[in-house]
Amino acid sequence: MTIREVSSFAAGQWILPCRGARNITSAISGDVIATAGNDNLSVQTMLDYARTVGGPALRALTFHDRAKMLKALALHLRDHRQAIYDLSFDTGATQSDHLIDVDGGIGTMLVFASKGRKEMPDAQVYLDGEIEHLSHNGTFIGHHICTPLQGVAIHINAFNFPVWGMLEKLAPTFLAGVPAIVKPATNSCYVTELCVKIMLASEIIPTGALQLVSGGLGDMLDHLTCQDAVAFTGSADTALKLRSNSSILGNSVRFTSEADSLNASILGPDALPGTPEFDLFVKEVHREMTTKAGQKCTAIRRIIAPEPAIDAVIEAISTRLSKTIIGDPRLDITQMGALVSSDQKRDVLEKASLIGTEAERVFGDPENFNIVGADAERGAFVPPMLYHCAKPDTATHVHGTEAFGPVSTIMGYSDTAHAIKLVNKGQGSLVASVITHDPKIACEIAIGAAAFHGRLYFNNRDSMKESTGHGSPLPHLTHGGPGRAGGGEELGGVRGVKHYMQRTSIQASPDILTAIGKKWVPGSKEFQDPSHPFTRTFSELNIGETLNTPPRKITLNDIAHFAEFTGDTFYAHMDDEAARRNPFFPGRVAHGYLLLSFAAGMFVEPNEGPVLANTGLNGLRFMKPVSAGDSIKVRLTVAKKTRRTDKYGEVCWHVTLTNQDDEIVAEYELLTMNSY
Ligand code: NAP
């Protein structure tokens, strides 16, 4: 058998393993299948290359360019995923596990690609939040912007998800505009290396944006500056060691940590045997114990159930576990593969023994279990092991020792407050699930336990068909947790991207803010073009271009007509006396929607032209009532332009309605789709 030489990709070169290389074994056979590592890797050259070549290339692109790049990359990986599946079996993972790792990683990239296009601008500066008004006359205002860090992101990943672990970090990093150096865990780095090779061969990523360290990282962390970021996933012990590095502390290098976690699942007091929730609970616990042979950061380690239901829960979970086929992950019938290595097996058995000092093992004997198609002596196989802890209030290992394999402990609770106390004993977890059909219980647990968790997952008969599973971090939602879970907050859509950007508050005049943010700010320069803006194409329109309409008087007849026509006969528009009793109105007033409709009639250019559709309104506010006899006029200004396809783009118009005294009565953003 040829031993695979797992290379690093440094400063544009593939570097083979050399001095300091480590052997990597197959999880199934225990044979050495690869080597990785090279002590001669020049970490400073890699950092310089990322900072001077990859960073500028990425920063020259807009968020939309980078989002399109992510989409192309994900689709390219999808076309080549079979080769990654084939290689991944040696990590002990089954085909279903590959779907989580490989397809899950590709899916995460696609979500970031989509969010980048929908929620971020086609620009290099991201505007964060709303304008802050700092002065009486509006000549000095504040806004926050986010721009990419000008250094490099170091991604240090755990062994269990060699593909997802890399892609879920690369997606927000690239979208932010920051180059990355990926350091996978050595045990499974051959899978990551293949994935990197596929990505680089596509030539979709700019030169210097992606480098790979297979094997040890050397002293790379000692060379980091305030423009760099480290995103770590792994054990709490390694996290502590790395985040204590003096360069990281001294230079305030951003350090995000996703560490280990004693996640729990609570069976609600209402979810007793015979309910759909009970069956759902058993199914989820079984899935979390056996997927990836329990080597999942989000796996359920603690099963918290009402005291009277404990025996039934043990029996139901044990019955399911007894039917789980363990063996060679390459076989179709295998439901649970092996741990990643014999070292990992030793570690899991040691940790399980510690848990065994406080809990009785009620299912699974590591000395006696069936394995199909593989050699129990050579492969890193263990059975699922279920423990029962009768005294969870005084136990420590049960709540504090992570056996990173198919090991869970069940414990009873007396009431909801007790369940909350037990779940919080994890000292900060990635996720807890609560299986209940009772919103009151859900609410009590959310208030009592959310502060100790990065994610709470509620499930019941109403949501179970479409729910995504206790163990799945989703790109739309933050992944991470407080305390021993690392204190990190990855993913979460644009929130995840912001980890790789600096937020800067800008205090300036409206003109300067418009120039920096590429979005027109009220108070900055307006200019008129002789032609109506609705006759001008997306490309012809300029930010700040404004149409001011002549005034239109509002009559009582208009209000009555609108009320009758739409059916909106709310008393404030119909009954002067009643309206006067309302603290907000001087008497009978015009409908806000009447004003909006009039505004559209006042600024529209009715003929067929480049405006294709009105696609929505943002931030509508009615600020002052309008009575019969008042008049309104409209200011329509091009605030922002966003390319959407190669045929049309979105124009965001700032619209202000003012009365005869120049007081603002309504303000909003109008969105239209315009042809180029
Ligand atoms: P680990 O032993 O802590 O290693 C994690 C990563 O750190 C690996 O890439 C490892 O590289 C690297 N590393 C270790 N020492 C280092 C050093 N001195 N300098 C630079 N890098 C160093 O964890 P693991 O065994 O791979 O993963 C299992 C753990 O990860 C479990 O505790 C699990 O809970 C946790 N995990 C957490 C999450 C999450 O999102 N919260 C996700 C997955 C896993 P080498 O392999 O080369 O040593």
When the candidates are 1.10.10.10, 3.40.190.10, 3.40.605.10, 3.40.1190.20, the CATH number that belongs to 4-125+147-260 is 3.40.605.10
Paired with 63 in beta bridges are none
Please tell me if the CB atom of residue 164 comes closer than 6 angstroms to any atom of ligand 1.
no
Amino acid identity at 353:
S
Instruction: Give the per-residue pLDDT at 19.
Output: 87
pLDDT, position 272: 93
Residues of the chain with CATH 3.10.129.10: 526-675
62 contacts 171 by C-beta, under 8 angstroms: no
The whole-number average pLDDT for the span 326-340 is 96
Span from the CA of 426 to the centroid of ligand 1 (angstroms) = 20
Q: What average pLDDT score do residues 570-585 get?
A: 96
- Cβ–ligand 1 distance for 281 under 6 Å, the answer no
User: Ligand 1 within 6 A of 339 CB?
Assistant: no
How many CB atoms are located within 10 Å of the residue 503 CB? 12
Question: Residue 112 burial (CB < 10 Å; 0-12/13-18/19+)?
Answer: buried
Segment 57-65 shows an average pLDDT of 97
Q: For residue 486, what pLDDT band results from cuts at 50, 70 and 90?
A: very high
Answer whether 220's CB lies under 8 Å from 151's CB: no
Taking the centre of ligand 1 as the mean of its atom positions, its distance from the CA of residue 8, in whole angstroms, is 18
Question: Is residue 210 within 8 Å of 180, Cβ to Cβ?
Answer: yes
pTM tops 0.75, yes or no: yes
pLDDT of residue 450: 98
| Residue 491 in contact with ligand 1 by CB distance below 6 A | no
* Tokens describing residue 174: 């690239």
Looking from the CA of residue 189, the nearest atom of ligand 1 is 46
Q: Is the CB of 95 under 6 A from ligand 1?
A: no
- For domain 264-470, the CATH superfamily is Aldehyde Dehydrogenase; Chain A, domain 2 (3.40.309.10)
DSSP SS3 for 372? strand
pLDDT tens digits for range 10-19: 999 999 999 8
From the alpha carbon of 237, which atom of ligand 1 is closest? 3
Work out the average pLDDT over 428-433.
97
Whole-number pLDDT of residue 503: 98
**Residue pLDDT, tens place only, 191-227:** 999 999 999 999 999 999 999 999 999 999 999 999 9
How far away, in angstroms, is 298 Cα from ligand 1 center?
15
pLDDT band at 554 (very low <50, low <70, confident <90, very high): very high
pLDDT at 627 (0 to 100)? 97
Phi, psi of 571 (to 5 degrees): -55, -30
Query: Is ligand 1 within 6 A of the CB of residue 238?
Result: yes
Closest residue by Cα to atom 21, ligand 1, is 217
Per-residue buried b or exposed e for 608-630, using 16+ beta carbons within 10 Å of the residue's own CB: eebbeeeeeeeeeebeebbbbeb
Give nearest CA residue, ligand 1 atom 8.
185
Instruction: Read off the pLDDT band of 376 (50, 70, 90).
Output: confident
Q: What is the distance in A from the centroid of ligand 1 to the CA of 429?
A: 17
Average pLDDT over residues 1-23: 93
Domain 526-675: assigned CATH number: 3.10.129.10
The protein residue whose alpha carbon is closest to atom 4 in ligand 1 is 234
Query: Does the Cβ of 145 fall within 6 Å of ligand 1?
Result: no
Average pLDDT, the chain: 96
Q: What pLDDT, on a 0 to 100 scale, did the predictor assign at position 463?
A: 95
Share of residues in the chain with pLDDT > 70 (%)? 100
495 alpha carbon – ligand 1 mean position (Å): 24
Burial of residue 14 (CB within 10 Å: 0-12, 13-18, 19+) is: middle
447-481 confidence digits (pLDDT tens) = 999 999 999 999 999 999 999 999 999 999 999 99
| Structure tokens that stand for 321 in this block | 């576990």
Q: Is the CB of 258 under 6 A from ligand 1?
A: yes
pLDDT surpassing 80 at residue 380: yes
Pick from 41, 297, 342, 351 the residue to mutate for probing ligand 1's pocket: most ligand atoms within 8 Å of its CB. 297
Active-site annotation, residues: 258, 297
- Residue pLDDT, tens place only, 85-104: 999 999 999 999 999 999 99
| Cα 14 to averaged position of ligand 1 atoms, centre (Å) | 24
Q: How remote is the CA of residue 232 from the centroid of ligand 1, in Å?
A: 8
- Give the atom of ligand 1 at the shortest distance from the alpha carbon of 37: 47
173 in contact with ligand 1, CB cutoff 6 A: no
User: Which one, of 547, 567, 556, lies nearest residue 629 by Cα?
Assistant: 556
Q: How far is the CA of 160 from the centre of ligand 1 (A)?
A: 9
> Is residue 230 in contact with ligand 1, taking CB distance under 6 Å?
no
Amino acid present at 410: I
Closest residue by CA, ligand 1 atom 41:
258
Which amino acid, 426?
A: G
DSSP code of residue 307: G
Q: How high is the pLDDT of residue 623?
A: 96
Residue 1 has pLDDT above 80, yes or no: no
Domain with CATH 3.40.309.10 in the chain: 264-470
H helix runs in 122-188, sequence order: 164-176
* pLDDT more than 90, % of the chain: 97
Q: Is residue 613 classed as helix, strand or coil in its secondary structure?
A: strand
Which atom of ligand 1 sits closest to the CA of residue 158?
A: 26
Q: Specify whether the CB–CB gap between 446 and 423 falls below 8 A.
A: no
Express each pLDDT in 593-608 by its tens digit: 999 999 999 999 999 9
What is residue 557's predicted lDDT score, i.e. its pLDDT? Answer: 97
- On the question of pLDDT at 646 being above 90, the answer is no
Residues of the chain within CATH 3.40.605.10 domain(s) are: 4-125+147-260
Question: What pLDDT, on the 0 to 100 scale, is given for residue 320?
Answer: 97
DSSP 50: I
Ligand 1 pocket, 160 CB below 6 A? yes
Mean pLDDT for the stretch of residues 494-507: 98
In this structure, is the dihedral angle defined by the CA atoms of residues 526, 531, 534 and 540, taken in order, positive or negative? negative
- ∠ CA(86), CA(171), CA(673), 5° rounding? 120
pLDDT at 118: 94
Residue 21 Cβ < 6 Å to ligand 1: no
How far does residue 381's CA lie from ligand 1's centre (Å)?
21
